[in-house]
Amino acid sequence: MSGNVSVIVIGGGIVGLSTAMRILQSRPAARVLLVEKESHIARHQTGHNSGVLHSGLYYKPGSLKALNCRSGYSQMLEFCREESIPHEVCGKLVVATTDAELPRLDELHRRGVANGLAGLRLLSPEEIREIEPYCRGLGGLFVPQAGIVDYTAVAARYAEKLIEMGAEIVCGERIVDICPKGSRVEVIGESRTWSGDAVVACAGLQSDRLALKTDSSLPLRILPFRGEYYQLKSSAPKLVNHLIYPLPDPAFPFLGVHFTRMIGGGVECGPNAVFAFGREAYQKTDFNLRDTCDALLWPGFRKVAAKHWRSGLGEYHRSFSKRKFVEALQQLIPEIQACHLDDGGAGIRAQASSCQGDLLDDFDFRINRRVIHVCNAPSPAATASLSIGQTIAEKVLPLLC
Ligand SMILES: Cc1cc2nc3c(=O)[nH]c(=O)nc-3n(C[C@H](O)[C@H](O)[C@H](O)COP(=O)(O)OP(=O)(O)OC[C@H]3O[C@@H](n4cnc5c(N)ncnc54)[C@H](O)[C@@H]3O)c2cc1C
């Protein structure tokens, strides 16, 4: 696309694609260009996640996560129905396995109600077994709204719709600079340059690097956390009917190792959460010097490490010891054994950290003149993508000439 581009979206993950789609749905005459550095869309977080339709249970009422997840969940279900994308609202069980966790289960129930979830049910140990015969817990919370879907398929459909609406998607072009110039913004790629009325950067694991191009005092950085999975063998007993989760650790923004039925069949077990020595370091032994140095030099990283070293060591232990991983899974399903599990894949979470060493919990969108940066869009951003796209589109439209 050359000439007068209205909006340039950087990043072909589910957030960039939904944002471009929502902009065009609100302003069909806009000329929208989406630029992705990989040869295909959805190569990073969008293509490596658990495929859960999150209901909005966990999030602080009134936060961007709570608002966008609740509204995005309904929009996602409607989208999947309209576009015939396979999905299933199978429900999820959150399980307390120690006495100390029981008050937190009650608190989670209250939070879910505050977030507008109907039909949540607190369960006794016997009621847990009626729903999940192999699962053991002292108390449970059943969340009927939770479901499963393939977000790569959703992203592919967003891309098809974008093209039908007249957008252009350019893959294989990494953006290296963003330069606001008066009423226009120049977006400079490795081999081409474009100019638009407005720019939205949805760069996931690289989002802070693009945000630094327009704000050198950006007060956060992305820390990459790898989540590794096992898969239940098809020959293993049928140990899981729904989604089975532990109670999350309130000090940590990740949900703990859990069991997830996949929409294409099979059950994923995990993920853990280890600091990754590279933003795209999908293998345990992958190492990227620049990414690692950037993290180590960020004061927030050292504070995160000081706060969470004990749980971090436990996660590393699980990463290298299948026996330890299985022990974590056995907290929920005591019958599960190492011989039931095959190695699975891994995904890397883009988790923003402040200079003070806080792991940012909420979504973070920043506007700098005519450029909007999505700086923190961790889970449930795939579920919430249509709502996030709408929220950002509303910020972009007033910037268009
Ligand atoms: C292990 C794991 C499990 C998860 N499970 C769930 C779940 O069950 N449910 C849920 O709702 N969410 C889940 N999430 C979160 C969800 O996957 C992400 O929040 C979501 O995919 C973020 O989308 P995104 O578009 O922001 O990022 P991404 O999908 O990472 O896309 C960013 C894109 O920007 C591109 N890019 C980066 N820099 C540049 C550049 N300079 N120039 C051009 N392009 C660039 C990248 O190549 C990439 O394609 C999970 C995430 C992980 C990692």
Query: Could you please report the per-residue DSSP string of 263-289?
Result: TTSSEEEE---EE-SSTT--STT---H
Q: Which domain holds residue 39?
A: 5-47+152-219+362-399
- 227/307 Cα distance (integer angstroms): 20
Ligand 1 atom nearest to CA at 350: 53
Q: How far is the CA of 45 from the centre of ligand 1 (A)?
A: 3
Identify the pLDDT of residue 320.
86
- 29/174 Cα distance (integer angstroms): 26
Residue written as token pair 């749905």 = 25
Are 242 and 300 in the same domain? yes
Identify the pLDDT of residue 2.
58
Regarding the beta carbon of 92 and ligand 1, being less than 6 Å apart is answered no
Are 132 and 249 in the same domain? yes
Domain count, the chain: 2
> Residues with Cβ < 8 Å from 107, sequence gap 6 or more?
none
Three-class SS state of 130: helix
Predicted TM-score (pTM) above 0.95? yes
Regarding the beta carbon of 242 and ligand 1, being less than 6 Å apart is answered no
pLDDT digits (tens, 9 = 90+) for 125-157: 999 999 999 999 999 999 999 999 999 999 999
Residue 59 lies in a domain: no
Regarding the beta carbon of 349 and ligand 1, being less than 6 Å apart is answered yes
Residue nearest to atom 41 of ligand 1 (CA): 175
Regarding the beta carbon of 152 and ligand 1, being less than 6 Å apart is answered no
Are 157 and 103 in the same domain? no
Residue 60 lies in a domain: no
8 A C-beta contact, residue 66 and residue 381: no
Identify the pLDDT of residue 255.
83
Identify the pLDDT of residue 308.
86
Which ranges of the chain have pLDDT less than 70? 1-3
Q: Supply the DSSP symbol for 146.
A: -
From residue 400, how far is each of 13, 15, 183 by CA, in Å? 23, 20, 10
Ligand 1 atom nearest to CA at 176: 41
Are 205 and 347 in the same domain? no
Regarding the beta carbon of 203 and ligand 1, being less than 6 Å apart is answered yes
Q: How far is the CA of 233 from the centre of ligand 1 (A)?
A: 27
Identify the pLDDT of residue 3.
57
Identify the pLDDT of residue 394.
97
Are 245 and 208 in the same domain? no
Are 136 and 156 in the same domain? no
- 234/289 Cα distance (integer angstroms): 39
**Which of the listed residues 10, 18, 44 should we mutate to test ligand 1's pocket, taking the one with most ligand atoms within 8 A of CB?**
44
